[in-house]
């Protein structure tokens, strides 16, 4: 008598396997957005190499931040302070490296700034875990603290809200080429984005730490009961978002040769939007670093695509809001379908 095959061993179709991927909705959105601008603005420069390079560079800067934010969201937390962290770290490394102030080598200025950012990230995580307050509230408060302190200290030291005059030092420092150079016609930011995305995706999907992230966001108490160091995981991820903000600040400072106190303003919501469009649930426990990267690419494509059309740039946020709402609706629907596949 032939035994019936265990249904858990039944092969899944390609569609069923795709349903299990959080990136499916964002991938569909990417195809739609690209197709729209290819038709509407293809003849205006959107499909040229210059147009492609433009939106890839914008996507890279947002994607670096969104990758780290996505991991934190999967762990069930938010970090709204990353926008102010970009401004603080940009000003910090600019003042430390500026010939009129710190006059430190660029590499040392970046490392010292990174150390400072890691401390702030640790404080964010510590306060969230120690007080039990929602991370939304704690990091919102930190966002205002950092923004205010950044303006106050910058004006105290420089009498201005911008630190410029770094171009000559950047041009002469080989370290700066890691942040401003090009490879195969693509700026360094794009390669940083690819590297960060691949590394963090590998960590999430192929390491025990990645399983801990899903566990911490899915059910923290149950995760603790099976030995997951939830506290350490979340502290590490808050420090990771601070690291991503510092990397983005370094890319911007090296590229512009200056820093200002408003740098990074609004990036916290863009990063969350990219993660949500990419399939991350606001409740935690589900999401993808690759999806967040696709979300960043969609937002950049829309932002730059509008430039090649006759659409007023003021409508960009309207389109982003619509995409977030549509992405959440689509992702919830696909999530339900994926749960049926798992049964």
Burial class (CB in 10 A: 0-12, 13-18, 19+), 60: buried
To 5 degrees, how large is the angle CA 78–CA 87–CA 80? 10
State how far the Cα of 115 lies from the Cα of 101, in Å rounded to an integer: 19
pTM, two decimal places: 0.89
pLDDT at residue 2 greater than cutoff 50: no
d(CA 317, CA 175): 36
Answer yes or no: is pLDDT of 164 > 60. yes
pLDDT at 113 over 50: yes
Confidence class of residue 320 from pLDDT cuts 50, 70 and 90? confident
pLDDT band at 187, cuts 50/70/90? very high
Where are the extended beta strands (E) located within the chain? 162-163, 182-183, 186-187, 259-260
Confidence of residue 321 (pLDDT cuts 50, 70, 90): confident
Q: Taking residues 207-218, report their average pLDDT.
A: 92
pLDDT at 339 over 80: no
Mean pLDDT lowest among 188-192, 239-243, 266-270, 321-325: 321-325
pLDDT at residue 34, rounded to an integer: 86
Average pLDDT on 248-270 reads 91
Just give the CATH number of 49-330.
1.10.3470
Q: How far is CA 55 from CA 48, 49, 270, 307, in A?
A: 11, 10, 15, 11
Angle at alpha carbon of residue 206, lines to 202 and 212, rounded to 5°: 105
- Mean pLDDT along residues 227-238: 94
CA distances from 128 to 137, 234, 337, 338 (A): 9, 9, 34, 32
Tens of pLDDT, residue by residue over 118-142, are 999 999 999 999 999 999 999 999 9
Q: Supply φ then ψ for residue 123, to 5 degrees.
A: -60, -45
Is the predicted pLDDT of residue 110 greater than 50, yes or no? yes
**Residues above pLDDT 90, as percent of the chain:** 49
Q: Is the pLDDT of residue 297 over 50?
A: yes
The answer to whether residues 82 and 264 touch, using CB atoms and an 8 Å cutoff, is yes
pLDDT of residue 8: 47
Check whether 209 has a pLDDT greater than 60: yes
Torsion of CA 324, 329, 332, 333, to 10 degrees: -140
- Residue 84 main-chain phi, psi, to 5 deg: -65, -30
30 CB-near residues (< 8 Å, 6+ apart): 294, 297, 298, 301
H-run or E-run covering 11:
none
Average per-residue pLDDT in the chain? Answer: 86
Q: What is the β-pairing status of strands 182-183 and 186-187?
A: antiparallel
The string over 105-122, giving b where at least 16 C-beta atoms fall within 10 Å of a residue's C-beta and e elsewhere, is ebeebbebbbebbbebbe
In the chain, the percentage of residues whose pLDDT exceeds 70 is 90
The domain locations on the chain are: 49-330
**pLDDT of amino acid 219:** 86
Q: What is the pLDDT of residues 50-76, one digit of tens each?
A: 888 989 999 999 999 999 999 999 999
Q: At what angle do helices 289-307 and 24-41 cross, to 10 degrees?
A: 20
Per-residue model confidence as pLDDT tens digits over 4-49: 444 444 566 655 566 667 777 788 888 888 888 888 887 788 888 8
Residue 186: strand pairing partners:
183
Q: Check pLDDT > 60 for residue 176.
A: yes
Supply 245's token pair. Answer: 């903000």
């Amino acid at each position: 008598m032939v035994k019936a095959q265990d249904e858990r061993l039944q092969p899944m179709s390609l569609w069923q396997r795709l349903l299990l991927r959080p990136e499916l909705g964002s991938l569909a959105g990417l195809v739609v957005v690209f197709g729209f601008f290819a038709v509407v603005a293809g003849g205006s420069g959107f499909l040229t190499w210059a147009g492609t390079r433009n939106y890839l560079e914008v996507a890279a800067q947002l994607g670096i931040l969104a990758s780290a934010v996505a991991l934190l969201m999967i762990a069930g937390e938010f970090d709204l302070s990353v926008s102010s962290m970009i401004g603080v770290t940009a000003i910090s490394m600019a003042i430390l490296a500026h010939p009129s102030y710190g006059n430190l080598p660029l590499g040392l200025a970046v490392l010292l700034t990174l150390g400072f950012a890691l401390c702030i990230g640790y404080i964010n995580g510590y306060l969230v875990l120690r007080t039990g307050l929602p991370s939304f509230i704690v990091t919102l408060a930190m966002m205002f603290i950092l923004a205010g302190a950044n303006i106050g200290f910058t004006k105290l030291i420089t009498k201005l809200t911008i630190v410029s005059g770094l171009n000559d030092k950047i041009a002469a420092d080989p370290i700066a080429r890691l942040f401003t150079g090009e490879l195969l016609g693509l700026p360094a930011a794009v390669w940083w984005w690819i590297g960060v995305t691949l590394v963090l995706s590998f960590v999430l999907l192929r390491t025990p730490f990645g399983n801990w992230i899903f566990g911490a966001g899915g059910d923290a108490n149950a995760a603790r009961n099976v030995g997951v160091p939830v506290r350490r995981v979340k502290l590490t991820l808050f420090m990771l978002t601070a690291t991503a903000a510092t990397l983005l600040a370094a890319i911007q400072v090296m590229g512009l040769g200056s820093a200002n106190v408003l740098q990074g303003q609004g990036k916290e919501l863009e990063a969350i939007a990219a993660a949500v469009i990419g399939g991350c649930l606001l409740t935690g426990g589900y999401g993808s670093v690759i999806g967040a990267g696709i979300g960043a690419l969609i937002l950049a494509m829309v932002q730059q695509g509008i430039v090649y059309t006759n659409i007023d740039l003021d409508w960009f946020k309207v389109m982003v809001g619509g995409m977030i709402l549509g992405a959440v609706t689509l992702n919830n629907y696909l999530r339900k379908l994926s749960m049926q596949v798992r049964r």
